[in-house]
Amino acid sequence: MPVRKRRALLVTGVALTLVATGMVAACGKSEDTGSATTTSTSTDPKDIAADAYVYGFPLVLMDVTREAGTAGVPANRIAAVGPIDPAQNTVVMPNVDTVYASAWLDLAAEPIILQVPVMSDRYWLMQVMDAWTNTVHDPSSVNPHTDAGKSAPYAYAITGPNWSGTLPADVTRLSMPTEMAWLIGRIEYRDAADLPAAQARQRELIMTPLSAWERGERPAPMDSPATAQAVSPPQAVAQLDGRTFFDRLDRLMLANPPAAADAPALQRFERIGVKPGGTTDSVSVEALNAGMMTARDRIPAYRNPAAKNENGWAFATDLGAYGTNYDLRAHTAWTALGANLPKDAVYPQLTGDAGTPDAPKRYRLTFPQGKTPPAQAFWSLTAYTGDGYLVPNPAAVYSVGHQVPVTPGPDGTVELAIQAADPGSAVPQGNWLPIPESGKFGLTLRMYAPQGDALDGDWQPPALTPVD
């Protein structure tokens, strides 16, 4: 199948992407029914190249994304990102719950210190991914992952795979298996009035190399240059021919070594020269390109057998750390680069039909008493157009549940009106979420620090019910 086009805005390294043909949850679902694995034993160079491309795609995409991100803010510095302007039409599926802190880390020379300020009044999450897109560390307000006896502000030393030494006593070590790492921090804001306080905490984040930290240097985050890229990182990777892609992968694996569990796959890939510091010169470019094209069809077509589809809501609870599931890792990088661990956030999604201007459709979403989304931090429900943008509406309501609290009825149920037209005073403020007047629309239910019953299936999002 042809590679599907993607829209993306790279905001200093925060790549927010969506498959343009429809809202695809980060769960391995696609319009195709095929699936694939990387357990083939074929010795055909084209087949090996296809598997090696699937294996290495996340690493190469991360590196290209890093190059674009550090063009605006250098490595080892935090970029302050957000909030997203509701009127913009470049970032797809933006959230209106958090501001971001993004930083690309180069851990080759020395550890990088991250200090998180006191934020006892709001949720925060500092996701640290390795070069292969695995979330290795996730300190948060729910669990700061600090050594015993340490209190806010929390200081962390993010160390590379080859570093050894002594850290300051007040610093908690976060060891990374690769020299390249990506920090994506999220800080809650509750409404427009609370935004300045959240941004003040965002500005109090500190990142600096260990040597500078010991000299007393405490640089503040830099402003993020929120500019659209002429060529997005996914598009840039797609433009690489087979030999260029694999030679880049070989080079990247020197500083970002494969996991020990990857040894069987690497033994097979070495047949075509795919290994740390290797070269594919012994294989024809035709074979490499053929394998690459097979893989680029296969990655978006992958279906995650563990994905959930509950009452029309699609989501996954096995993202963020992939082990040897190379197909899931590649597919997630393709559709949702930077996916969180499920224990930090899950995003059930569905699509619907808003009808036509002459015959608009109305829906209701009803949570039974005590069955609103179970999250330790907070939850929100956001509506999007069919293209993945926030829905313009006179009330300027883009999301409910968090910044706009919902109101239970007399019997304790929470009924949300999902429709374009204002339902009037019969619906409490906070219980109306506008959708487009016509065409397709999407809903994303975000649960931050979801409770166990949201992950094991004991709780399910209710079905979206049409109103006659």
The pLDDT, as a whole number, for residue 350 is 96
E strand intervals along 371-430: 375-385, 399-400, 414-418
pLDDT of residue 8: 42
Q: Which amino acid is at 131?
A: A
- Can you name the CATH fold of 348-467? Jelly Rolls (2.60.120)
Q: Which letter does DSSP use for residue 420 in this model?
A: S
Domain regions of the chain by residue span: 6-69+231-336, 79-223, 348-467
Q: List the structure tokens of 251.
A: 């080079």
Q: Across the strands, what pairs with 9?
A: 16
Structure tokens at 369: 């008493």
Roughly how many angstroms between the first and final C-alpha of the chain, as a whole number? 39
User: Which helix (H) or strand (E) segment is 209 a member of?
Assistant: strand 206-209
Q: What is the pTM of this model?
A: 0.91
79-223 and 348-467 have identical folds: no
Q: Phi and psi at residue 349, in whole multiples of 5°?
A: -135, 150
CA–CA separation, 278 and 10 (whole Å): 31
pLDDT at 228: 60
| Structure confidence at residue 107 (pLDDT) | 98
pLDDT recorded at residue 7: 40
Tell me the residue type at 327: D
Q: Which stretches of the chain drop beneath a pLDDT of 70?
A: 1-39, 90, 226-229
Highest CATH level, class, for 79-223: mainly beta
